[in-house]
Amino acid sequence: MSPTTLPDRPAEGSRTPEYDDTVVKQFVVATVFWAIAAMSVGFILALQLAWWRANPGIPELTFGRLRPVHTNGVVFAFTGNFVFAGIYYSMQRLLKTPMWSRAMSQFHFWGWQAMLVSVVITLPLGMTQSKEYAEMIWPIDLAIAVVFVTFAVNFALTIANRKVQHLYVALWFYISFVITIPVLHVVNNLAIPATLTRSYPVYAGMTDALVQWWYGHNAVGFLLTTPILGLMYYFLPRAAERPVYSYRLSIVHFWALVFLYIWAGPHHLLYSALPDWAQTLGMVFSVMLIAPSWGGMLNGLLTLRGAWDKVRTDPVLKFMAVAVSFYGMSTFEGPMMSIRSVSALSHYTNWVVGHVHSGALGWVGMMGFGTLYWLVPRLWKRPLFSTPLATGHFWLATIGVVLYTVAMWGAGLTEGLMWRALDENGQLQYQFIDTVVAMAPFYWVRLFGGSLYLIGVLIMAFNFTMTVWAQPEADLEPVPAK
Amino acid sequence: MSQEHWHRRILEHRSALFATLTTVCISIGGLVEIIPMFTVGQGHDEVLPEPYTPLEVAGRDIYVREGCMTCHSQMVRPFRDETLRYQGDWSHAVEYSWDRPFLLGSRRIGPDLHRVGGKYSDDWHYRHMKDPRLTDGSIMPAYPWLLEWKIDPDDVKASVVALSRVGTPYTDEDIANVATDLQTQGQGIVGRLGEKGIDAAWDDEIVALIAYLQRLGTDVPKGPVAKAGEVSK
């Protein structure tokens, strides 16, 4: 069998192993729930920026306390649950082995949800470590470590127990995710507690900043990128019914990606007081990252060769094709923004916010929706309630991301240029408040784009609810027979 | 398939080896970048600043709690427009020596604050936190609860103790005197507020926050520093 074809078709006459799809269903439901929750908070934040009176004068609901609820919600709740759902579904099939322990899978699921609920409660109460995407207070950090390591052990023992000798490319990316996340989490969160809810990091000043952005950038790399690429390598060929375009390309871009990604963190600290050599390393490795990133994008898009007619009709492939395109776009934009002279303009502006969202909404979100539309009918063994609604969701999401990103480009360039504008006497042309006022129209467009995206998610939730409740049961083979 | 690719034979059939090599790959970059931060110093041999006073520690904790860094950076970059706008030298590593956690921020929804100390009077900060529309066009939320909530000296002491455990050089005497230090420094601010007709108490949270904000930018090691009170209007 070629390494580019999925090994999970059951052999003739053999019995399909008893896969644990219960945990997959649980994570799917959680993904939809948290997507709505995290993006609704994003809606509130966008409104607060456009119209400050949306800060209701309640400490727990002010922008500064709410913003990490949104970021952590999208990263760990929406993306985290989606990644776990996809991994539990695909790895059992790729290894022809049920999960090693159902109990550990259940502990993982409920532990993860309990962690998320505690994050949503503590952050608005102002209990925070303040380091971005690592705001959770130390007791929650400990819980995260325990839950994730449980998952990692279950994951490793399932691989050890596998019935297929060869590790398919999707699994490589999962492995890099399972190894790297605990390393990042533990190193960045080393701290001494002062009280039950407050602690101080063992690193100070610029060292703390470097460790944080090593963490922050690689949380993007190893939670929002590599596991999603792994899911792309499973679900895209599955939906397109085509083998992966190039096995060699997947080898080269995998190893290059896992080696190069980890260096790029200092691009968040260009022109800061970080030593120059560290800034330069961050910049150079970020630029180099274009190659393996585009390797993944090309391998994904070229896998669709001969399947473009399906993209026209199948919402799953529509979402995935646009997701991979956004991956290519934002992995070009990111390295460009990591060049010192570009960062001088883009850093601290809305451009960065736009970049993050083209990755999160365009790449992660769209891959998530595509995967969910593929999974739900197969897991619940019912045909999708409405394909036109799914197509509608696709267009709302696409138009939403484009409006969001373009608005933030405009906003970022505007404020970046206004901050640096000097008049003929060499004096500042604008006061800071002028740049704040200039953002208002862009903030409204962003709010509109984000709302379209959120409405799309609500439509998806409705479509899934109707699928599970109102559709007749029909045994859709989880693996389409050939 | 007759001819096996070496990569399959050596790695993709051996999960433990595959995982080991992945671990090696993801470790190198981090080790090369992070370890020198501890061993070769950060390119400065200036005199280290004084650690934050207990009241400034309390103010910094409030700054963290309210998420001020989601909108305000603390990093003036070495550009002419930034040293003009923020009226001071660009930010130096040594200034952050006791910053746990670091608060450089990643977004300037509002202006940078690394040089805000001494730029405005204590009563301006008081009135501004109560009603940010003091600046016409501001989108900052108001923080009226900071005028009512109180700091707890025992809680501040717990912070100072933890900070000394991670390496901030507080003496045993500093730790023993947390409560009196809080009161002494707080009374100074209360006095200045009183001159402007503002009635505050030394343990009001706003007083601690003002102490912290007025400290920012006062540890510049060298170079031209703008004098307090000059606002570019």
Q: A127 - beta bridge partners? A: none
- The pLDDT, as a whole number, for residue A9 is 60
Q: Inform me whether the pLDDT recorded for A301 exceeds 50.
A: yes
Say whether B33 and A214 touch across the interface (CB within 8 A). yes
Q: Inform me whether the pLDDT recorded for A74 exceeds 70.
A: yes
Q: Highest mean pLDDT: which of A37-46, B21-30, B46-55, B90-99?
A: A37-46
Q: Inform me whether the pLDDT recorded for A11 exceeds 60.
A: no
**Angle (CA) A399 A402 A405, round 5°:** 150
- The pLDDT, as a whole number, for residue B4 is 64
Give, for A169, the enclosing helix (H) or strand (E): helix A169-188
Output the DSSP codes for A16-62.
PP----HHHHHHHHHHHHHHHHHHHHHHHHHHHHH-GGGS-S-GGGS
**Angle (CA) A454 A455 A461, round 5°:** 90
Radius of gyration of chain A (CA): 22
- The pLDDT, as a whole number, for residue B224 is 42
**Angle (CA) A376 A378 A383, round 5°:** 80
- The pLDDT, as a whole number, for residue A13 is 52
What's the average model confidence in pLDDT over A116-138? 97
Contact, A201 vs A191, CB < 8 A? Answer: yes
Contact, A167 vs B10, CB < 8 A? Answer: no
Spatial CB neighbours of A312, under 8 Å, sequence gap ≥ 6: none
State what percent of residues in chain B have pLDDT above 70.
Answer: 90
- The pLDDT, as a whole number, for residue B209 is 98
Q: Inform me whether the pLDDT recorded for B231 exceeds 80.
A: no
Say whether B18 and A274 touch across the interface (CB within 8 A). no
Query: CB A15: neighbour CB atoms within 10 A?
Result: 7
Q: B107 - beta bridge partners? A: A348
Query: Which pLDDT band, with edges at 50, 70 and 90, does B13 fall under?
Result: confident
A391-415 in b/e form (b: 16+ CB < 10 A) is: ebbbebbbebbbbbbbbbbbbbbbb
The Cα-based distances of B162 to A138, A201, B50, B67 in angstroms read: 13, 10, 17, 21
* Least confident piece of the model among A188-192, A373-377, B37-41: B37-41
pLDDT tens digits, residue range B156-215? 999 999 999 999 999 999 999 999 999 999 999 999 999 999 999 999 999 999 999 999
State what percent of residues in chain A have pLDDT above 70.
Answer: 96
The two beta strands, A199-201 and A191-193, are antiparallel
Output the DSSP codes for A287-356.
HHTHHHHHHHHHHHHHHTTT-HHHHHH-HHHHHHHHHHHHHHHHHHHHHHHTSHHHHHHHTBSHHHHHHH
Phi-psi region of A241 (alpha: psi -120 to 50; beta: other; left: phi over 0): left
Q: Inform me whether the pLDDT recorded for B107 exceeds 70.
A: yes
DSSP state of B167: T
- The pLDDT, as a whole number, for residue B222 is 54
Secondary structure, 3-state, A55-74: CCCCHHHCHHHHHHHHHHHH
Q: What are B63's two structure tokens?
A: 């700054």
Q: Which residue is closest to B16 within chain A, CA to CA?
A: A160
- The pLDDT, as a whole number, for residue B7 is 81
Residue type, A147: V
- The pLDDT, as a whole number, for residue B229 is 40
Residue A195 touches chain B, beta carbons under 8 Å: yes
CB-nearest to A275 from B26, B43, B97 is B43
Q: What are B217's two structure tokens?
A: 């930018």
Q: Inform me whether the pLDDT recorded for B226 exceeds 70.
A: no
Say whether A262 and B27 touch across the interface (CB within 8 A). yes
Contact, A272 vs B78, CB < 8 A? Answer: no
| Residue of B31, B70, B159 for testing the chain A interface, max A β-carbons within 10 Å | B70
Q: What global pTM score does this model have?
A: 0.94
What's the average model confidence in pLDDT over A218-229? 95
pLDDT tens digits, residue range A148-163? 999 999 999 999 999 9
Distance of alpha carbon A277 from alpha carbon A279, whole angstroms: 5
Distance of alpha carbon A130 from alpha carbon A124, whole angstroms: 12
For chain B, what is the total number of helices (H) and then of strands (E)?
A: 9, 0
- The pLDDT, as a whole number, for residue A6 is 76
- The pLDDT, as a whole number, for residue A481 is 37
- The pLDDT, as a whole number, for residue B45 is 59
| Residue of B98, B104, B152, B205 for testing the chain A interface, max A β-carbons within 10 Å | B104
Q: Inform me whether the pLDDT recorded for B223 exceeds 60.
A: no
- The pLDDT, as a whole number, for residue A116 is 98
Rounded to the nearest integer, the mean pLDDT of chain A is 95
Burial of A425: CB neighbours in 10 Å, binned 0-12, 13-18, 19+: exposed
Contact, B108 vs A411, CB < 8 A? Answer: no
- For residue A183, give the nearest of B15, B30, B166 by alpha carbon: B30
Cα A308 vs. chain centroid, distance in angstroms?
26
Q: Inform me whether the pLDDT recorded for A270 exceeds 60.
A: yes
Closest Cα in chain A, distance from residue B196 (Å) = 26
- The pLDDT, as a whole number, for residue A421 is 97
- The pLDDT, as a whole number, for residue B44 is 52
pLDDT tens digits, residue range A381-423? 999 999 999 999 999 999 999 999 999 999 999 999 999 999 9
Closest Cα in chain B, distance from residue A175 (Å) = 7
Q: Highest mean pLDDT: which of B23-37, B40-54, B161-175, B208-222?
A: B161-175
CB-nearest to B13 from A165, A176, A347 is A165
Closest Cα in chain B, distance from residue A109 (Å) = 24
Q: Which residue is closest to A260 within chain B, CA to CA?
A: B29
| Residue of B22, B63, B73 for testing the chain A interface, max A β-carbons within 10 Å | B22
Tell me the residue ranges of DSSP E strands in A151-248.
191-193, 199-201
